[in-house]
Amino acid sequence: MTSLLRRAAVGVAVVGLAGACLAIAAEEPNLTEDQIREFLLHAKVVQSHQTSKGVTAPWRLTLTDGKLTHDAAFQSIEEFKVRADFPSRTEFNFRDSYEFNIAAYELAKLLGLGDMVPVTVAYRWKDTPGSLSWWLPAKLDEEERQKQKLEAPDANAWNKQLNRMWVFSQLVYDTDRNQTNMLISEDWKLWMIDFSRAFRPYSKLLEPQRLVMCDRQLLEKLRRLDGNEVLAKTKPHLSKSEVKWIMARRDLIVAHFEKLIAEKGENAVLY
């Protein structure tokens, strides 16, 4: 297949977890996480244009290594405000940062959720530091799904993905898990992108009411999550304090589910 044809073939999702390979559709190149990383870091940028959705409008770059041509999202936002006013809230010490995209991917992997976040690396483009993420084969985003009133063919499987997403969102205190940051592929796989407004400095949960059910493995990984490992894997993108807040929220999430289990029984809470 020529690289152009490969590029034209959408409907793909390939993510390697810990070196393993998980090809979701035949058209996408069958690459391990390391190969995707290598491609993102070393392939040549041959085209670029700014995306139109969202607030910061990151760049969609087309990269090629001579054999494979594929797109990636380049985000370089780095903004700090002592006070940021939003329609329904005010945030102090607001930070919007590409570094949180890299940290979110690394943290997701530690929790076994690496297949819900695109492979993301630290990257410099045109002398600007940023994050570079594999471009996902999204068929639509959650906003479009709701507008078109489309339902996932397997509601149960869809809800399980949503629940995993909400647990992760609480852990990273994501203030921007809006519907355009939830991408859906042809096979109804849910992907999370855009964590530039996550990792807020709080030892509390943003929306505990979202935590209704939890993946058993995810809860186990949360219990075992080690702050030193989080710090090492997300280095230098998260501060010690940011990791400390993650761990405080981890404790709250685990306690929340333990309480729910005590009240409702394990089978009503865990899947």
Under the rule (CB under 5 A), what is the footprint of Mg ion? 54, 181, 194
Out of 43, 121, 136, 198, name the contact with ligand ADP by CB under 6 A: 136
Q: According to CB under 6 A, which residues from 68 to 87 bind ligand ADP?
A: 73, 75
Tokens of 154: 């397997």
- Vertex 191 angle, CA 190 and 193, to 5°: 150
Closest CB 174 distance from Mg ion, rounded Å:
11
> What is the CA 136 to chain-centroid distance, rounded?
11
The residue written with tokens 């993905």 in the block is 161
Find which of ligand ADP, Mg ion, none residue 136 binds, CB within 5 to 8 Å per kind: ligand ADP
Size of the site for ligand ADP (CB under 6 A): 21
Closest CB 192 distance from Mg ion, rounded Å:
10
- Distance CA(162)–CA(152), nearest Å, equals 12
- The answer to whether 133 contacts ligand ADP (rule: CB under 6 A) is yes
Out of 190, 193, 205, 253, name the contact with ligand ADP by CB under 6 A: 193
Nearer to ligand ADP, 179 or 203 (CB): 179
- Distance CA(100)–CA(103), nearest Å, equals 5
- The answer to whether 116 contacts ligand ADP (rule: CB under 6 A) is no
- Distance CA(65)–CA(175), nearest Å, equals 36
Which residue type sits at 177? R
Number of Cβ within 10 Å of residue 261's Cβ equals 16
Tokens of 10: 């959408």
Closest CB 54 distance from Mg ion, rounded Å:
4
- Distance CA(68)–CA(86), nearest Å, equals 42
Nearer to Mg ion, 183 or 238 (CB): 183
Find which of ligand ADP, Mg ion, none residue 58 binds, CB within 5 to 8 Å per kind: ligand ADP
Nearer to ligand ADP, 115 or 141 (CB): 141
Number of Cβ within 10 Å of residue 204's Cβ equals 12
Binding site for ligand ADP (CB under 6 A): 51, 53-58, 73, 75, 118, 133, 135-136, 138, 141, 180-181, 183, 193-194, 196
